[in-house]
């Protein structure tokens, strides 16, 4: 299967690979997996407590090129956004940006899950109950073509 | 996973335990008009046209997961002999065509049912389980409610898979540089044993779930009632075991690859 140029770019030149101090109160960690393919993805965010802006993001993914590209793109996108803005990122946005084929849509779902899990972890650490995003309009998950 | 709260009771026919699958009713033999057996007319022995049936029904089996491999194999060879296109070469064109189609159906059915894992996966598919769809549905649920998505595999397993992958990556790097790290290698060998044990333990877990499932089928076949919740609970138990198995299998494969190269 041919990967799109953008996937190849993120795959061979992934952004923000690495880790942040998971014990820091400013850091949220999300570890998620896709049982369909056995991929694991860790995504971490560092949030400025005064502004709620995500100042840094790191990831490490063990999986296929699309999973790596999806998480690489996710870290790029969340940086500079507030926590609530980051929660509006949809797997469909990732699919579109990377031109993922239907069989790789689960990779984009995994990346969205990772963002959500990292933010959830950060909120938990900071005593916020994750009700804020309930107001966000749900969008349908991209279906197979 | 669409867990329903309704306590629906399955009907007497055990076929109802399989969503959207109904067992074919008996029809008349196209040739002599008598009621037919599964593949050949009981009266005249003529091959019958292929019907789109599930693999269990193809072999005339109940939807049980425990089955005797020798019996299945025996049945497979017996059917193969009668369905083989060469045997049917003297018959009419449409009978030849049917025997060809049925032979191919037979091969698929046998291949799927003889292996315990593909058999389980197949039954789960008949039960309407689609892993990817479930994952998407759970993501949608998380968006809607703002709650964290429940991961389909337990966090400690994800943690273990992640850590081991980190070690594997380090090991690959070291080897590439021509400086294999013996301590790391020993650690990996220990981890492999641990993962292997966990993997082997899943077989027992799966068999326990099989027994629960078969008990439901037996109850239904004997005319008893089966609660929808019970069916879903056993089904999900099997999905859970297979999900964990996927991770551990990949991990074992990767560990072997790194240790051997």
Residue A142 lies in a domain: no
Q: Is A138 domain-assigned? A: no
Q: Rounded to 5, what percent of chain A is helix, strand, coil?
A: 45, 20, 35
Whether the CB-CB separation of A67 and A105 falls below 8 Å is answered with no
* Count of A-B CB contacts under 8 Å: 86
- Asked, for residue A145, whether it belongs to a domain, the answer is no
CATH assignment of the domain containing B110: 1.10.287.110
Which structure tokens are listed for A96? Answer: 């579109």
pLDDT, tens only, A52-77: 999 999 999 998 889 999 999 999 99
- Hey, are the CB atoms on B247 and A141 less than 8 Å from each other? no
Residues 6 or more apart whose CB falls under 8 angstroms from that of B96 comprise B85, B88, B89
CATH of the domain at A11: 3.90.1010.10
Residue B140 lies in a domain: no
One domain, residues B28 and B118: yes
Residue A64 lies in domain: 5-129
DSSP string, A19-49: ---TTSTTEEEEEEEETTTTEEEEEEEEE-T
Residues of B in contact with A84 (CB under 8 A): none
B145 shares contact with chain A (CB less than 8 Å): yes
CA A68 – CA A78 distance, rounded (Å): 16
Domain boundary among B126, B160, B176: B126
For chain A, the average pLDDT equals 87
Enter the tokens of residue B101: 């189609």
What is the per-residue pLDDT across A86-137, written as a single tens digit (0 to 9) for each? 999 999 999 999 999 988 888 999 999 999 999 999 999 998 754 444 444 4
Torsion, Cα of B124, B246, B67, B233 (10° steps):
-40
Percent of chain B with pLDDT over 90: 38
Residue of A107, A111, A114, A117 marked catalytic: A107
Same domain, B100 and B203: no
Look at residue B48 in the predicted model and tell me its pLDDT. 83
Let me know whether B28 and B106 are in one domain.
yes
Q: What is the reported pLDDT for A108?
A: 92
Q: Which two tokens stand for residue B201?
A: 């333990």
List the structure tokens of B195.
Answer: 């993962």
- Looking at the fold, whether B112 and B164 belong to one and the same domain comes out as no
* Domain shared by B119 and B25, yes or no: yes
pLDDT tens sequence across B213-254 = 999 999 988 888 888 899 999 998 999 899 899 889 989 999
User: Which of the four pLDDT bands, split at 50, 70 and 90, describes residue A140?
Assistant: low
**In this structure, how many other beta carbons lie within 10 angstroms of the beta carbon of residue B51?**
13
Q: Say whether both B198 and B104 belong to one domain.
A: no
Among chain B residues, CA nearest to A90: B143
What's residue B92's pLDDT? 86
Distance (Å) of CA A19 to CA A44, A60, A80, B166, B231: 7, 7, 18, 12, 43
Q: Is residue A74 part of a domain?
A: yes
CB–CB contact B135 A106 (8 Å): yes
Q: Considering the domain boundaries, does residue A15 fall inside one? A: yes
What is the domain count for chain B?
2
Q: Look at residue B133 and tell me if it is in a domain.
A: no
Number of domains in chain A: 1
Q: Are residues B161 and B254 in the same domain?
A: yes
Query: Has residue A62 been placed in a domain?
Result: yes
CA distance B130 to chain A (A): 10
CB contact under 8 A, B139 and A33: no
Residue B64 placed within a domain: yes
Provide the residue range defining the domain that includes B221.
148-260
Are B248 and B158 within one domain? yes
Select the residue of B145, B148, B246 nearest A117 (Cβ to Cβ): B148
- On whether residue B9 sits in a domain, the answer given is no
Instruction: Evaluate whether residue B5 is within a structural domain.
Output: no
Between residues B228 and A44, the one the model is more confident about: A44
Asked which of B93, B126, B159 is the last residue of a domain, the reply is B126
Share of chain A above pLDDT 90, in %: 66
A64 in catalytic set: no
CB contact under 8 A, A109 and B158: no
Closest approach of B171 to chain A, Cα-based (Å):
15
Is the model more confident about A43 or about B62?
A43
Q: Which of A4-8, B46-50, B114-118, B223-227 has the highest mean pLDDT?
A: B114-118
């Amino acid at each position: 299967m041919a990967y799109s140029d953008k996937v190849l770019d993120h795959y061979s030149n992934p952004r923000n690979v690495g880790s942040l101090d998971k014990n820091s109160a400013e850091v949220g960690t999300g570890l998620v997996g896709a049982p369909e393919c056995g991929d694991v993805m860790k995504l971490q965010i560092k949030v400025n407590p005064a502004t709620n802006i995500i100042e840094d993001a790191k990831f490490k993914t063990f999986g296929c090129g699309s999973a790596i590209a999806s998480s690489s793109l996710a870290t790029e996108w969340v940086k500079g956004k507030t926590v609530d803005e980051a929660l509006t990122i949809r797997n469909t946005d990732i699919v579109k940006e990377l031109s993922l084929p239907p069989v790789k849509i689960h990779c984009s779902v995994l990346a969205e899950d990772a963002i959500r899990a990292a933010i959830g972890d950060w909120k938990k650490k900071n005593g916020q109950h994750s009700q804020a995003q309930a107001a966000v309009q749900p969008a349908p998950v991209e279906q197979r073509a | 996973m669409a867990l329903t709260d309704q306590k629906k009771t399955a009907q007497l026919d055990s076929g109802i335990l399989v969503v959207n699958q109904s067992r074919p009713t008996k029809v008349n033999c196209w040739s002599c008009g008598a009621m037919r057996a599964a593949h050949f007319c009981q009266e005249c022995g003529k091959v019958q046209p292929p019907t789109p049936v599930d693999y269990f029904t193809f072999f005339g089996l109940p939807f049980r997961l425990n089955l005797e491999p020798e019996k299945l194999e025996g049945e497979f060879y017996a059917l193969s002999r009668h369905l083989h296109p060469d045997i049917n070469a003297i018959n009419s064109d449409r009978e030849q065509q049917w025997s060809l189609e049925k032979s191919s159906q037979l091969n698929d059915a046998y291949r799927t049912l003889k292996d315990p894992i593909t058999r389980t996966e197949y039954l789960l598919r008949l039960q309407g389980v689609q892993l990817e769809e479930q994952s998407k549905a759970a993501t949608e649920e998380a968006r809607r409610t703002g709650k964290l998505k429940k991961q389909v595999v337990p966090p400690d397993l994800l943690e273990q898979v992640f850590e081991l992958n980190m070690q594997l990556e380090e090991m690959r790097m070291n080897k590439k540089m021509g400086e294999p790290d013996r301590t790391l290698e020993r650690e990996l060998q220990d981890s492999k044993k641990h993962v292997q044990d966990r993997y082997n333990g899943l077989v027992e877990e799966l068999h326990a779930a099989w027994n629960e499932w078969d008990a439901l089928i037996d109850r239904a076949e004997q005319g008893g009632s089966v609660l929808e919740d019970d069916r879903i609970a056993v089904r999900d138990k099997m999905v859970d075991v297979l999900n964990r198995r996927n991770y551990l299998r990949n991990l074992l494969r990767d560990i072997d690859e790194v240790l051997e190269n």
